[in-house]
Structure 1
Amino acid sequence: MSKVVITKADTYDEQAVALAMHELLNQLGGISKFIKPGDKVLLKPNMLEGLPPDKAVTTHPEIVRAMIRQVKGAGGIPLVGDSPGVSSTLKAAEKCGILRVCQHEDVELIPFIDKVEVPFAQGSTVKKFVLAKAYIQVDKVISLAKMKTHSFMGVTGGVKNLFGLMVGTDKAQFHLRMKKRSDFAGMLVDLAQVIKPVLYIVDGIVGMEGHGPRNGKPKQANILLGGRNGFAVDLVMAEVMGYKGETMPVAAKALSLDLSPRMKDIEIVGSGSNIRLEFAKPRNLESLDNKLPAPVVDFFQNQLTAKPVIADCCIACGRCAAHCPPEAIKMMDNKAVIDYKKCIRCYCCQELCPADAVKLQNGLLLKMIRRGK
């Protein structure tokens, strides 16, 4: 039976986080079950963008510190790395506080620049990945995720966090190739099998609800979650957030491939095992991917999906245009303009907008379908 640990932690105080991490790992047999002396260990936090920790966009630096010390205590050699959605690794780490922790703990921060091709013939969706070269230069990987809602995947936790092992704009190709949520989820499931983290930790002391993963609101949850099986950890995380965990795209795909246990088959332990919350959901969580034939969905895309709309608070920074996978956004008269014939509804624009100027507007048929429930 898969075990997922939920421990209570009321603040990001250094000692409080260390105690919660210690409790979590003890429930799993201790850090020595995962890390051996001499192991080079890549700690992969969520550094989506360089924003202050109180925005709840990134993994809190004290979570990174606590795991650094645990790895060192086991005789391992910790390294920290990620490929942010915006800006360089160094700049993002500086602004979100992780660089300071790395410097204080004398740990190398690795910018993901160099790449390596990794074949995966048995993949259900993807047969080959191009990943940060750091992945093959370490012995172990630990995912240090943030508990957040996600406009495309419903929730983002330990498994989605691994998407950051793809370098820079390489991520965009998967949004172009996998427009359906079920396909994108399949890619993430394959990615998790390739990387094989030995441990998944989710920072839920303060999570994010609503329009995650960047423009939602901080949500106090006072927990850390962890376990060996990332699909099980994320399934429990979604349930804690108030979702039907098994219906989340990644969970559904992992369950279909027998890579995840059912919720009823997961042993949930720890001081926070009974905590259940209600996170505000992103507006476009519901998907029609598997409810109507693909040609019908494609033909009526404007009416059957929530489309991104640029609000008047647009600051004309150009970030959405620069990162749009199908190049559907242009800057005109100091405002972003979307070509809906090209838009694939990946919501990268909403995810990365620094002014929260990308709103989601339901199409007419989608409104009618939802009213008829």
Structure 2
Amino acid sequence: MNTAEFIPKIRSEKIEEIGFTWQTPSNIALVKYWGKSDPQLPKNASISFTLNNCHTITTIDFSIQESAPCADFDLFFEGKEKEEFKPKIAGFFKRVEVYCPYILDYKMVINSENSFPHSSGIASSASGLSAIAMCLMRLEQALNPRLTEVYIIKKASFLARLGSGSASRSIEGPLVVWGKHPKIAGSSDLFGVQFPYKVHPVFQNYQDAILLVDKGEKQVSSTLGHNLMHKHPFAENRFKQANENLSKMSEILQNGHLEEFIGLVESEALTLHAMMLTSAPYFILMKPNTLEIIHKIWEFRAAENSNICFTLDAGANVHVLYPFSEKEKVNRFIESELANYCQKKQYILDAVGFGAKKG
């Protein structure tokens, strides 16, 4: 594992004051990763659609100060200081300090906001930490203008991963692979890479409606869930299955076979939750309305000869995936039927996006 390339070789002239704003998206995994080792290395490779509308916008203002023993920062979320968010960000800065030693020379003021409601049940760690990583890399570029754009994107994904594994997949789009895989050229456990092969047109503007079934805090955190895979009786078979499924997904994304896509995506979602059901201790993150929605999707797909399908993250909310050609029909179905199973009938219409954008 070669991480030395991400340690700055030179220290340039310091900049008194500078600020950057970046917008980075959430993502939804098609082939899931569940289980990791330190430092944030996946037990199997995964691939995700980068989203467009669900994003975080973060501004970091840097002002020079005497070098501190640890990162010095204030954190504001949607205009309000958030002390309860600081420990996670402080932990992130501590992990990246060796790769970004310049952060100790600056006081940082971080202002962040989401395009989706906080505590809506949509994981914001991927979008939030990838936005911070992009701001750090733009500071590094300002300190060392010789850095290439390819290196900046690669290191941003590497840094984001150290805060949240899935954040490594939120720097680029529309499809990103994280985890070393023999069938994916350039893939790595250290950072995400764009899917390197030509994607069939049907997947280039895919739709994702996020049904907000449960907006409360999860009973079991993703970190704890990942840790339970260490002694899971089915762990090794699951890691093997996921890597085999990524090989299959690579072919599907290139040939456009929607029936195979549906079967694989839904199987991956249910397998993820099967790992939770069979861990020790076991836990259930799906809610009754999650299952109601799944059955409604199956009924609609059969009745309408549709290519609609679902996937799930580590939670109760349902991601409804469907081709752009079915957008109007499926959106009507969501509004008339599926919304009834959401908290306050809330859902978010999203689509495949292209990664980080300068603010």
Structure with bigger helix share is 2
Using the size of structure 1 for normalisation, the TM-score is: 0.29
Structure with the bigger RCO (C-alpha within 8 Å, sep 6+) is 2
Using the size of structure 2 for normalisation, the TM-score is: 0.30
